[in-house]
Amino acid sequence: MNEERTHALVAASADPVVVLDSERRVVAANDAASRALGRPEPGRRLAEELTAAHPDLLVLFLESAPELSAYQELRAGFTAAVSHELRTPLARLLVLLETAALPGADIAELTEQARQEVEQARELIDDVLFLGELETGREVVSLGLTVAQPIVTEVVAAFRERANLAEMALEVRADEHVALPLRPRMLRVVVENLLANALRYAGQGSRCTVELSESDEEALLTVSDDGKGVDPVDLPRLFERFYRGDQARTSRGTGLGLAIVKHVVTAAGGEVEATSDPGQGLVIRARFPRA
């Protein structure tokens, strides 16, 4: 079934109908379905929970529908990963509390360490909830165009102090005319997570550059550093939830930052990629089609 015929058949239906591809991204939706689903943009992924919430909605797949068992397996794996990640700060917190009960314990120091562990758990919970909102369609990622340079400059300025403490130089090279198909809040989320990733893993004395550029076909947001780089074995899994390479396992990051970046960019119709050579830094590019 070609795309033109698909749209025509869907539009002719009196019932709410949405057509999804094998990745559960919107191919076509008639007015009734569009109203029920909050007017999803073509290419936006619709979570199974969202379509299930509308029993009158007819969901058609251009290819075979995802197997329920595969979805359940993915969901169970995600739940197990969250549980595992939460156990680490909680276990350390318990050790700190037990240590505080010992004679001669430095209560002030132990209290500060305990505060950091609680903050780590809070950040993890916040990221999990935010990613869940994105996947169930509660956050509208793409809504018009946002001129990116002012927001990028604002986020970089907010990171200056942290960068100075980490002995990292920050630089912005931005075409002031570049507009990205993201809400301002979503653009902040992307830039913040990319900068936080660079701060955690690039290493002292490195430089991180945020660039905005465009061509006739695409707009490009690039965050690059000249730090430690990423092992080739780790690179294909960089955007997976909770994945950390060997050099990153001691980090206090939640392991969800780049997964959130990928979800936001792809939900807005873009693509994100990472390239690196060990010892020569990491480059992350988010490509968006020009409107």
154 token code pair: 């604002």
Q: Which ranges of the chain have pLDDT less than 50? A: 1, 64-71, 73-74, 77, 246, 248-251
- Which helix (H) or strand (E) segment holds residue 90: the answer is helix 68-100
- C-alpha span between 263 and 269 (Å, rounded): 10
SS3 59: strand
194 and 284 Cβ atoms separated by less than 8 Å: yes
pLDDT tens figures, 15-33: 788 888 777 788 888 888 8
C-alpha torsion 44→48→50→56, nearest 10: 110
pLDDT of residue 243: 63
CA angle, 86 then 92 then 94, to 5°? 100
Rg of the chain's alpha carbons, rounded to an integer? Answer: 22
Record the pTM.
0.56
Distance (Å, whole) CA 183 – CA 141: 6
End-to-end CA distance of the chain: 26
pLDDT of residue 271: 93
